[in-house]
Amino acid sequence: MAVVQQSIKLPQWRRRLLLVLVLLGFAALIGRAVLLQGVRHAFLQQQGAARTTRSMTLYAHRGMITDRNGEPLAISSPVESIWANPADTKASKEQVEKLAKLLELNPTEIGAKLANQNRDFVYLKRRISPELANHVMALHIPGVNMQREYKRFYPAGEVTAQLVGYTGSDENGLDGCEYQYQKWLSGKAGSRHVIKDRQGHIVDDLEAVKLPQDGHDLVLSIDRKIQYLAYRELSKAVEENKAKAGAVVVLNAKTGEVLAMVNLPAYNPNNPNKESAKSRNRAIIDIFEPGSTMKPMTIAAAIETGRYNAETKIDTAPGTYKIGTATVHDSHPNGLLTVSQVIQKSSNVGAAKIALSLDPQYMWGVFNQLGFGTIAHVNFPAEASGKLRNYKTWHQIEQATISYGNGISVTLLQMARAYTVFANEGELRPVTLLKSKEPSVGQQVFSAATALSVRDMLETVVQPGGTAPKAQVMGYRVAGKTGTAHKPGVGGYQDKYIASFVGMAPASNPKLIIAVMIDEPSNGQYYGGAVSAPVFSAVMGATLRMMGVPQDAPNNNVILPPADLPEVKEAA
């Protein structure tokens, strides 16, 4: 039986349709390939990389700030920050609640941070302890990771706050030395480019790790023990005198190094807030009229001309001196005074008469050489230059008032520095906030004879008959000057005062200069000799003994005036 074979032929139109469909399929594949490999190649590669690769910042360790003896004033400790990739994070409700409890956050807050699936990085909590971070990671939530960072701590707290400053959440300096030496302290961050899986685990490095370069340590000239001492004594004085503010500067008289710089009110740099910016470093930034602490500069300038000496007589009667329509006053009439007594009694009339006998350009030149009207160049943010008007604009009354510290503005650091001429045989020393490696080179302003003569006059200020017996220090000779000045305001001087004292010891060979300023004392006393001199005495005595400086006077050298003797006051 023969087998009959049949051939099935498709209709012509069906064959053509099938061919067209096959060709369209190939065209679609080719088009898709072109789209993926050509048109959208960069975008898709970027999206793929975003889901698999990460560029991790490796933070540099910020340098320490220490005092001159290596005691830490600012240190960085390692902490952990918890972050997440919202697109990769898969967490149950129970896990979110546990995570929120550990991080002390609201579960709703965490949910809001993870809601944006277009983001691949979001912080959940920054700067937590490594122990707490380990508890978080033990939850094993996909997409949640931890990152090593550093947190700044300030062991001395508010005692050094305005000087050291503080950092923000990113460890960038925001104030003080932290801000000024940001580049030196911060170093350079490193990086690591890696591939991660969907659970956030690192699979491989894409390139060599760029290691961070740690910051450098900064050694200040401050001695933390002296800083604590000055802070304690200033705090007492501000509280007892119900003052608005205060500041103390302690200088090494020979090197110009700042051994202490204290300001009140203060703040806690470990927990700074919006009010922290108001607690500035008054010793460098704030300017004030120094009052009678300027008189030694005027007297030194006069002696340098050769026309005056310590015994030259000045008639200050009747305690007033009319200049044009203005009148200069003493706190009480003194009659005929020697130049030395003009300093001891703090006579405005005597200082004004001496100043008006000097050439204005010469007098301005001396004050300018002493650093008034220019910054002290201690490399601190917002350092003030003070105000010393050009002599060409002076009227007689202005020349007279500048001689006793009115009509001129200075910083406390400038005043402390100016007194280095009396501690160093007429040589003005530069000042520094950094520990010195080499002796500083100064500028000769007065002759050694002039400087020693004025220093002898300054010793009489702290003796009975002077304006500051309370500045005396047991076992040491002291030389210094009080200042009491009205505060200028809108429309003229206010009934508010700045009380100050600047002095040095041992007077036979000064090792330290201490300047004290109390702003607006309001508890009955406002003279520099009553308010600021006791702070000087307490800080100077303790510091000299702490440094082991040999005594230049017997232990019974402190002689206070009799209780029934009227207080020697100075006119403000």
| Residues with active-site annotation | 292
Q: List Cα–Cα distances, 178 to 62, 239, 256, 258, 419, in angstroms.
A: 10, 29, 22, 17, 29
Q: List Cα–Cα distances, 343 to 453, 455, 479, 519, in angstroms.
A: 12, 10, 11, 23
Q: At what angle are helices 295-304 and 348-356 packed, to 10 degrees?
A: 40
Segments in 106-175 forming alpha helices (H): 107-115, 130-137, 161-164
Backbone phi and psi for residue 460, each to the nearest 5 degrees, phi listed first? -70, -20
Rounded to an integer, what distance in angstroms lies between the CA atom of residue 218 and that of residue 62?
10
CB atoms within 10 A of CB 105: 15
Q: List Cα–Cα distances, 89 to 122, 200, 207, 483, in angstroms.
A: 11, 9, 26, 67
Please state whether beta strands 65-66 and 218-219 pair in parallel, antiparallel, or not at all (unpaired).
Answer: parallel
Single out the residue of 86, 71, 239 nearest to residue 160, CA to CA: 71
Rounded to an integer, what distance in angstroms lies between the CA atom of residue 461 and that of residue 458?
5
Rounded to an integer, what distance in angstroms lies between the CA atom of residue 176 and that of residue 22?
76
Single out the residue of 462, 459, 464 nearest to residue 563, CA to CA: 464
Q: Which long-range contacts (CB under 8 A, 24 or more apart) does 153-157 make?
A: 153/74, 153/75, 153/76, 153/77, 153/270, 154/73, 154/74, 154/269, 154/270, 155/71, 155/72, 155/73, 155/75, 156/73, 156/224, 156/227, 156/228, 157/268, 157/269, 157/270
Please state whether beta strands 313-315 and 144-153 pair in parallel, antiparallel, or not at all (unpaired).
Answer: unpaired
Write out the two tokens for 545: 């003994």
Rounded to an integer, what distance in angstroms lies between the CA atom of residue 150 and that of residue 527?
48
Rounded to an integer, what distance in angstroms lies between the CA atom of residue 476 and that of residue 459?
11
Write out the two tokens for 167: 């950092």
